[in-house]
Structure 1
Amino acid sequence: MRRFYGIAAGTGGVQRRRSLSGLYVPLTSSAIVKRVLSILLLLLPHFLMARQEPVWISFKKEPVFVRNPTFSLLKIRDERSFKAQLGTIISGPKSSIAVRSNDEIASTFDDLLSPGFSPDSTRVPIIIRIQELIFFEKEKKALQADGTCRLELAFDVMRDGKPVQLTTYTARTIYTRSFGQTDRLELVARKALESAAQYLSNWIKINRDKSPALVKGLKFVYIDHSIQQASGDTVFYHPLRPLSWDDFQAAPRIGSRNAASIFPTFSYEGHSRWVNGFIEVQLTFKTFMVKSMSWVRPGHKDDYGLLHEQKHFDIVKLIVERFKQRIIADPDMDFEEYNSRVQFLYLEAYRDMNRWQEQYDGETQHGINRAEQERWNRKITQDLKNAEDLTAIMLSNRQ
């Protein structure tokens, strides 16, 4: 059994303390004084810093601008735990002082960013969340300090009434300053904010068509490339510009028993841009015939034969309208693969065009069967009108 021995505290101003061996040894009054003094010396810097007035940062009312901004400022939220504190800096040899801002940081950042990031249909409305803004320094030499400004921001976009995070930004800006050069702190913080704004603007530019959080959906805009005057070797489809025999400029094909032949076809071009959260895809459709691949035999340039060839041209226009409708109604169309999806639908429409042309020539016997020719004339005219009307309705319903 371990035993402990001790002398009761009493006379002589002697107190007892336990030693490592289990015995109580005396602690003299002078030792107590020394211990208290050592504790006071350790706490003195903290007392001095607490009594010192903090350094107040006052941000200049000069807006922050970046190159080609892609976002607008919707709101700024300060999520820091200690909103009044901005860290500490070196105020002198072996002494520190607190840093604070004259204004609320969220309000200050709003003033700095709002002028350069105003609402625009091509800009993404962004919520900025301030997660950290803090200075910390270490003493250098010759009355100088090495410092770091740490800025952490999170960027959100609203989706279905809720904020969705896009990305985050963390920067550590390193600087050196003289002890009395506190105005440098404002410049460092401003540069950190400017770098964050430029980072986000670049990030949106790269990810605008890729990030699900940024894209609400697809919108298609259709343009028909149609001019009434022939352009070189090409005649573009126009309802007010019917074909003429002058458009058939190739030599008659040897071995063919047809009186005439037309080479009609179609193509499309597209480009996209970001508008109010949607990827707006502008598609330009070209329905045309090639003069150097279309021909007519001498002695067969009558109105009946020209109408037969015109209906070949009208069939292509009909297929283009149905191609437009397929794009709008396609259930597999999405913003990530819309380009390849439109290309797939184009190939499907191209095959449909060839089938229609073959069926038309087969049933009319290349125009020889006048009864069938008349039936196809009415059918193509009515189908084309219905298709154009339906395309307009579908586009209107998608707006």
Structure 2
Amino acid sequence: MHYTGGTTIKLYMKRTFLIFLGLLLWLQGFAQDYNVLAYETDRKLTWQDFKGRPKPSDAHKGAEITVSIFLKIRDTSFWSGRVTYDAYAVAFKDESWVKPAYRENYSLQHEQLHFDIAHLYAETLEVKLNSLDSKTSKDEAEVEKILKNHLAEMQQFQNKYDRETNGGNNYKQQMRWARKISKALGILSTTVEV
């Protein structure tokens, strides 16, 4: 079966509103209200998570997942005012879709790797934001700038994944990327004893 998958990163005028709304709202409640799926390490995507419809411009694709990163304030230090964050990869169910002919495991695994990549970028963003000094950590404009730059880097990486795998059509490259992302996820889940 010929497969061409893809991913879309949500970036538009509502971005600023969503970012800071995400900072204020508990992600689980937000996700339930807006049909957003938060990344969970123990849960893989199913085709039931793809509730959207392709656009006419998507005629050459079999499936697409729309992902982004939401932030939530974890804590604000009483003494320094330093803000720490939690970053979450999310998929927008209503904007992720699959054509009936492509509802098979191989295509789903391709889309799962897009979500896994978003998770990796969310984790590295969290580390980056939580490494900021006290003054910068509470500067909303600076945090938003870092987030936008990180989302742009993630989009480039997602595009590279699709380009090198030919949207999932290059089986050898798809397997290479699966090993690469699996290794990176394994590093994330490794516990360090102190």
**1:319 is matched with which residue: 121, 135, 145?**
121
Runs of 4 or more above 4 Å deviation:
224-227
1:239 alignment partner, one of 30, 41, 66: 41
Following the alignment from structure 1 to structure 2, what is the Cα–Cα distance between the partners of residues 323 and 376? Answer: 21
| 2: CA distance, partners of 1:226 / 1:377 | 28
- The corresponding residue for 2:134 is 335
| Distance across 2 between alignment mates of 1:355 and 1:280 | 31
Matches of 2:107 and 2:156 in 1, distance apart? 21
CA–CA separation in structure 2 for the residues paired with 1:318 and 1:366: 20
Q: Is the contact made by 1:321 and 1:388 (CA closer than 8 Å) also made in structure 2?
A: no
Would the aligned equivalents of 1:249 and 1:293 in 2 still touch at CA under 8 Å?
yes
**Letter matched to residue 157 of structure 2:** W
Higher normalized contact order (CA 8 Å, seq sep 6+, divided by chain length):
2
CA contact (8 A) 2:85 2:130 kept: no
Counterpart Cα distance in 2 of 1:236 and 1:328: 20
Partner of 1:297: 99
For 2:147, which of 346, 369, 375 is the aligned residue? Answer: 346
Shift of 1:231: 2.6
Asked whether the 8 Å contact 2:27–2:72 carries over to 1, the reply is no
Q: Which has the larger radius of gyration?
A: 1
Aligned pairs for 1:210-221 (under 5 A) are none
Q: Residue 280 of structure 1: CA displacement?
A: 5.0
Alignment of 1:360-399 (within 5 A): 360-389=161-190
2-side partners of 1:348 and 1:388: how far apart?
Answer: 25
Question: Is the partner of 1:258 in helix, strand or coil?
Answer: coil
1:261 paired to 2:64: yes
Number of aligned residue pairs: 164
Higher helix residue share:
2
For structure 2, list consecutive stretches of 5 or more residues without a partner in the other structure.
1-25
Extract unaligned runs of 5+ from structure 1: 1-223
CA distance in 2, matches of 1:296, 1:273: 41
- Computed over aligned residues only, the root mean square deviation of the Cα atoms, in angstroms, reads 2.6
User: For the structure 1 residues 273 and 265, does the alpha-carbon distance in structure 2 shift closer, same or farther, using more than 3 Å as the test?
Assistant: closer
| Matched-pair contact (CA < 8 Å) for 2:87–2:122 | yes
What percentage of aligned pairs have identical amino acids? 27
Matched to 1:244, the amino acid is T
Matches within 5 A, 1:22-171: none
Amino acid of the structure 2 residue aligned with 1:386 = I
What is the TM-score with the length of structure 1 in the denominator? 0.38
Counterpart contact for 2:39–2:119, Cα < 8 Å = yes
When the two structures are superposed, what TM-score results if normalisation uses the length of structure 2? 0.74
Deviation at residue 264 of structure 1 after TM alignment = 1.0
